[in-house]
Structure 1
Amino acid sequence: MPVPAYRLILWNVDHTLLDAARVTREAYAEAFEQVTGRPMVRLAPTAGRNESEIIFETLAFNGIATSDDHLEAFVRALEAAYSTRRDKVRSFGRVLPGAAEAVGAATALPGVVQSVLTGSLEAAARIKLGELGLDRMLDLSVGGYFSPVYPKGAAIEMSRISAGRKYGTVFAESATVLVADHPLDVRAARIARARVLAVATGAVTESELRTAGADAVLPTLADTATVLHTLDRLTST
């Protein structure tokens, strides 16, 4: 008899599961020019951040006086730019070592539901995951994505609530784990009282992730057995 769902694993997308940095920059450049009529010279840092932070900082870096109207227009343009780059995600994006194997192995954990938690646009996340073949193992309908209103910590809580409604259960804070690669993600999980498995697959070291307060830190997702054991441990206590 299947074990009822009781634990929730949320995977960060960019720099944790996959790398599509080239496509991201191209999409931002197209959206920037469409919104401002000028070429983008500099893209703001993206790691660990919400889309609105990246958009407003990119506008500022390029000498654009920002307003609230910019966000809605930029989001629409960015969604369109990603939608025309599906082939480039397949050509230039890549699944990070061990990511597909880790997600696949975690599906065997008793009572598990897997989704994503990202500061990116939902449309962009779905395109990246779909084109690189990771979406089949994840329930993206209960994921947490960019919101102009809610920070990442709140998005984790909202994902937990959405998953609870869909699966007819309660996912305890202690049975929710975020797998991510940046101290800002660790902080968001702490706000939501979720557990954190941090991986040094982005621009941050293992030491920095430990200092940020992650419950467990691994260099990559390449050791499937260790990833699975860690996820099991973090969501069983």
Structure 2
Amino acid sequence: MILTEAAINRLVLWNVDLTLVDVSIVTRDAYADAFRMVTGRPMVKLAPALGRPESEIIFETLAINGIAAEEHHLPRFLDALAVSFAERRDRLAKDGRMMPGARDALKALSKLKGVVQSVLTGGIRDNAVLKLKAFRLDKWIDFEVGGYGEEVYPKATLLQVAQSRAKEKYGATFTKENTVFIGDSPRDVQAAKFGGARMIAVATGRATASELEEAGADIVLPDLENASEVVAAVARLTDPAERPVR
């Protein structure tokens, strides 16, 4: 179904890794290859993602591997990472996995009145597209209005960038009242709180449900396996008549 600009009044932004897909094995191999291309040395240790943007992961990875970061490192590393990841695109579905319920949740949300879905990810855009295409999840995502790690902003700022892009494309204003971020880490929760969105946290990553609740998520779900529950949560958070008082 193609939504007209006038019909769009809800923005749902998805974190990618450990929320929709898990391709950590391929990601580590791509990072190791990119590290070697940029520094000429093997990567001994990769910094943990923890819901952070690519720029933070790259700088920490350089530091813990004994490389003093210079101005040229970030753009070169981002370019190398896109190349090394694309070279491994055929491994994504084989060595990775779609998170349980992800496809049904995306499909069900696409039928909720006024919704456009995109991504808010610390990863770079090219890699986010490849990850979701590998599992045929891209058909429900408008990548044009997303926020991506190569833009070198904190996730909270990327959220506001995505809201601005959605406004420009669809003509509606997106605020905390009609934007929902779905992610799996306390950093995702912080991005929603500071960026201006309601937060649905899913305990499919490395954080427990209690940790996500303590971080301040509006709603915490164990996973995405109950698609109707996901839809109901988005509807509740974007409908003033049903929104909980916090």
Report the TM-score range of the alignment, normalised by the length of the smaller protein.
Answer: over 0.9
**Secondary structure, counterpart of 1:68 in structure 2:** coil
Is residue 93–residue 132 contact of structure 1 (8 Å, CA) maintained in 2? Answer: no
Q: Specify the alignment match of 2:94 in structure 1.
A: 91
Render the CA deviation track for 1:3-53: whole Å, top value 9, x for unaligned.
721010000000000000011000000001111111111110012011011
For normalisation by structure 1, the TM-score amounts to: 0.97
**Contact 2:78–2:150 (CA under 8 A) maintained in structure 1:** no
Q: CA contact under 8 A between 1:19 and 1:95: conserved in structure 2?
A: yes
Distance 1:150 1:78 in 2: 18
TM-score, normalisation: structure 2: 0.93
Letter in 1 for 2:155: K
For 1:175, the aligned partner's letter is N
1:79 matches 2:96:
no
Alignment counterpart, residue 230 of structure 2, candidates 215, 219, 227: 227
Which residue is 1:106 aligned to?
A: 109
Distance 1:212 1:230 in 2: 18
Aligned to 2:59: 56
Alignment partner for residue 23 of structure 2, among 15, 20, 38?
20
* Residue 42 (structure 1) aligned with residue 45 (structure 2): yes
Indicate conservation of the 8 Å contact 2:201/2:217, yes or no.
yes
Over the residues paired in the alignment, what is the CA RMSD in angstroms?
Answer: 1.4
1:148 Cα deviation (Å)?
4.6
Number of residue-to-residue matches in the alignment: 237
Per-residue deviation, 1:171? 2.1
Kindly provide the CA deviation profile for residues 115-158 of structure 1, in whole angstroms up to 9, marking residues without a partner as x.
00001111111111111111101111111111454211111111
Which of these residues, 134, 139, 145, is aligned with residue 142 of structure 1?
145
150-159 vs 164-173, greater mean Cα deviation: 164-173
1:173 partnered with 2:176: yes
* Aligned-partner Cα distance in 1 for 2:88–2:51: 23
Whether the 8 Å contact between 2:190 and 2:215 is mirrored in structure 1 is yes
Please name the residue that 2:161 is paired with.
Answer: 158
Query: Relative to structure 2, which stretch is displaced further, 145-154 or 82-91?
Result: 145-154
In structure 1, the gaps of 5 or more residues are: none
The answer for unaligned runs of 5 or more in structure 2 is: 241-246
Once the two structures are superposed, what CA deviation does each residue of 1:53-75 show, in whole Å capped at 9, x if it has no partner?
11011111111111121111111
Q: Percent identity?
A: 50
SS in 2 for 1:173: coil
Distance 1:213 1:123, change over 3 A: same
**Which amino acid is the alignment partner of residue 210 of structure 1?**
E
Relative distance call for 1:51 and 1:149 in structure 2 (3 A) is closer
Residue in 1 that maps onto 2:243: none
Match of 1:201 in 2: 204
Q: Work out whether residues 201 and 221 of structure 2, in 8 Å CA contact, stay in contact via their aligned partners in 1.
A: yes
Q: For residues 178 and 159 of structure 1, what CA distance do their matches in structure 2 show?
A: 11
Instruction: Give CA-to-partner distance per residue, 1:144-198, whole Å, 9 cap, x none.
Output: 1114542111111111111111112222321100000001111011111210000
Kept in 2, the 8 Å contact 1:7–1:172? The answer is no
Which moves more between the two structures, 23-32 or 83-92?
A: 83-92
1:102 Cα offset (Å): 0.4
Report the equivalent of 2:244: none
Question: Does the CA contact (< 8 Å) of 1:6 and 1:172 recur in 2?
Answer: no
Indicate the SS of the match to 2:116: strand
